[in-house]
Amino acid sequence: MNNAYNSQSFWEREELSADWDLLIVGAGIVGSSIALFYKEKNPEAEVAILERGFHPYGASTRNAGFSCIGSMSEHLADFGLAGKNTVLNRIERRWNGLQLLRATLTDEESGYEHTGGIEIFTRNDLFERCAGSIGEMNRLVYEKTGLKDVYSVTEYRGYKAITNRVEGALNSGRMMKSIHRRLSKAGVTIFWNSEVIKTSEHGVQLKDGYYIKAKNVVVAANGFTKSLADVPVKPARGLIFITKPLKKLGWKGTFNYNEGYVYFRNIGNRLLMGGARDIARDEETTHHFGVNPKIHDYLVQFTNEVVRLEAGWEIEMEWSGIMGMTPNKEPVIEKTDSGVFVAAGLSGMGVAIGMQVAKDMVQILENSTEGA
């Protein structure tokens, strides 16, 4: 028995590190939503989240806030990677996830705005290929989701472009704050500054030595899952910067470029710009936060040469976030051989699919309890 455990009081041992019904590692959108949906179904259950940061410290509060089902060039590239069926199921999951998000939180609580999404092109061959596939894509998306004529050709600020009429954007910080308020009302406990170093079927070991027992343990640590569970989820770092307020910003809404690798949007009269992980993929396979100068320089150049902000614009803040990627971009939602549950590998789409993944995880938990 270690020192920290020895130093616990009787009350702490009996009530705080005793048998929780459900312990979740990670207070991002997935872990928090699992807690919320599980508690809705099991109001009497003792549910707690262990989060290593004093607020979530992964991707959910560090992303771009696009509420998107994906661009034409992204889908066509993914057809090659994962096959048509998988990609169409993913579009359906993204759409369902966004609907669930908007049914769970009010638009005020998430800061959601319906903007539509626009993919811009600088390469004619890629534009022609994407534009030529719109008819088929619209038909397939309609069959999956019931949404008609999602994609159409347009022009935006002199660029050939394809719009997606069903997309929007939200305020990621406000969304997470609102989910945590809901958790507090629902009676879910969140232990902040609590880093888990080991998990098992019966509980978790904290960095400071405490062991907390639980009937079920779910790892929802996404890009940080590797040390906690044996699943094929790799970290992938993403970079974002936001400009100081601009006198004139012609771009309004959400935009992406090159298979969704580059994305930008207006936040009032500031520009948020991010992505370009594809130009340094190996270096960005890391769970360490940080700015890759190569990517920074690429995004600055893109802002000057493609977005063409007026000269003199300045970056106000720059940050990175860590995604969890799987080989075919499908999330891992399962009970592992060790008996620990895992919901991770949202592959850069967690705003869209996060709540749906959480709902699926809760169903797996329910089925496993029924089967026990």
Ligand X SMILES: Cc1cc2nc3c(=O)[nH]c(=O)nc-3n(C[C@H](O)[C@H](O)[C@H](O)COP(=O)(O)OP(=O)(O)OC[C@H]3O[C@@H](n4cnc5c(N)ncnc54)[C@H](O)[C@@H]3O)c2cc1C
To 10 degrees, what angle do helices 134-145 and 124-132 make? 50
User: For ligand X, which is the closer residue by CB, 56 or 203?
Assistant: 56
Length of the chain: 372
Burial string for 279-296 (b: 16+ CB within 10 Å, else e) reads bbeeebebbeeeebeebe
User: For ligand X, which is the closer residue by CB, 161 or 240?
Assistant: 240
CB of 35 within 8 A of CB of 24?
A: yes
Interaction site with ligand X (CB under 6 A): 25-31, 50-53, 56-60, 62-66, 195-196, 220-224, 228, 238, 240, 274, 321-323, 344, 346, 348-352, 354
Q: How far is the CB of 15 from ligand X (least distance, A)?
A: 21
Structure tokens given for 187: 């009676």
Q: How far is the CB of 104 from ligand X (least distance, A)?
A: 15
Q: How far is the CB of 8 from ligand X (least distance, A)?
A: 20
User: For ligand X, which is the closer residue by CB, 129 or 202?
Assistant: 202
Environment class of residue 45 by beta-carbon count within 10 Å: exposed (0-12), middle (13-18) or buried (19+)? middle
Terminal-residue alpha carbon distance, the chain: 30
Structure tokens given for 140: 């397939």
Q: How far is the CB of 311 from ligand X (least distance, A)?
A: 27
Environment class of residue 247 by beta-carbon count within 10 Å: exposed (0-12), middle (13-18) or buried (19+)? exposed
Q: How far is the CB of 243 from ligand X (least distance, A)?
A: 16
User: For ligand X, which is the closer residue by CB, 246 or 358?
Assistant: 358
Cα gap 276→239, rounded to integer Å: 8
User: For ligand X, which is the closer residue by CB, 70 or 160?
Assistant: 70
User: For ligand X, which is the closer residue by CB, 14 or 184?
Assistant: 184
Q: How far is the CB of 94 from ligand X (least distance, A)?
A: 8
Environment class of residue 254 by beta-carbon count within 10 Å: exposed (0-12), middle (13-18) or buried (19+)? buried
